[in-house]
Amino acid sequence: MPAAPEMGSATSTFSTIFSFEKPAVPASTPSKVFRIGTRRSALARWQAEWVATALRANGAEVVLVPIVTRGDTNQAQPLGAIGGDGLFTKELQRALLAEEIDLAVHSLKDLPTEHVPGLLVAATPERAPTADALISRGGVTLTELPTGARIGTGSLRRRAQLWHARPDLTMHDIRGNVDTRLQKLRGGDYDALVLAEAGLTRLGLEAQITERLSTPRMLPAVGQGALGLECREQDAETRAALAQLNHPATHAAVLAERALMRALAGGCLAPIAALGIVNPSGQLNLSAVVLSGDGHTRLAAEGAAPVVDADTLGRRVAAELAAAGALELIDAVRRG
């Protein structure tokens, strides 16, 4: 289990959706047991256990509270067919607001960008690898896959980028946890899968990866590889504990990505991809693409700014994409 990232300096210039101003609390042992809400999947529990270990290292007492989300209970239909955004997060947020838990651990790529009154993302720990990963039968790469190869993915973003590179491929929806998907691949249901490298790495399955599909060929989902630690806005004790787990560079990167997503009103399921990176000089670079559903049209934009202007950078790059026709592409995908 990796050590918890060091906390960076807080700033009030970032979006209120991502607040890291450390509330004033007594310098004593926490007075409560922190209840962490988590989905039941192996990956979600790994992520929650990572956070629990980091909090315990700082002297906190922690328990995990399993919560079933709508996305977990319906494994038969594509995500877009059962309600779209928030399928893996709304029940966790409901439990937070009902004070059944004190914090929720989200895969940030699943967390909608709309602010929920009374809640805030109090920390984003250091990001894991952001790339998508191809896992194929026979160990063949994306360019080596045969014409018409069957790709298992439920992500419109992945489909569109794969079709942009290989329009001959056939795409098939796939649901279930990582092990279930790998079993379907081994059983011959698909010729290849595309999954997040971060999840495979966290589960110790990186040896399964055939090829890392990195930029510029494949940009990740907004927030991919990052965790969002959400709590009640007025819970000063939990906010103070979580502030110690924040990673400033990750925070700035995902803030820019999510500002872009919010400005485009795209939602987690739209064919939008973005990646923010803080370079060694402290400059934040943001690259983003929006694609048509069939991958034929690909609009790209990028920009750079100081990390304190992360939100502004995201909105500026989104405006460039919108001026090029991105909103029309997103609307066409929504209409099917």
Q: List, by residue number, the catalytic residues.
A: 110
135 to 184, 270, 273: CA distances (angstroms): 12, 23, 20
- d(C-alpha 295, C-alpha 158), whole Å: 9
Contacts of 53 (CB under 8 A, 6+ apart): 1, 4
β-pairing, 298-306 vs 283-291, is antiparallel
132 to 64, 193, 211, 255, 313: CA distances (angstroms): 29, 10, 9, 20, 24
Structure tokens at 269: 């399921």
Which residue shows structure tokens 């939008």?
272
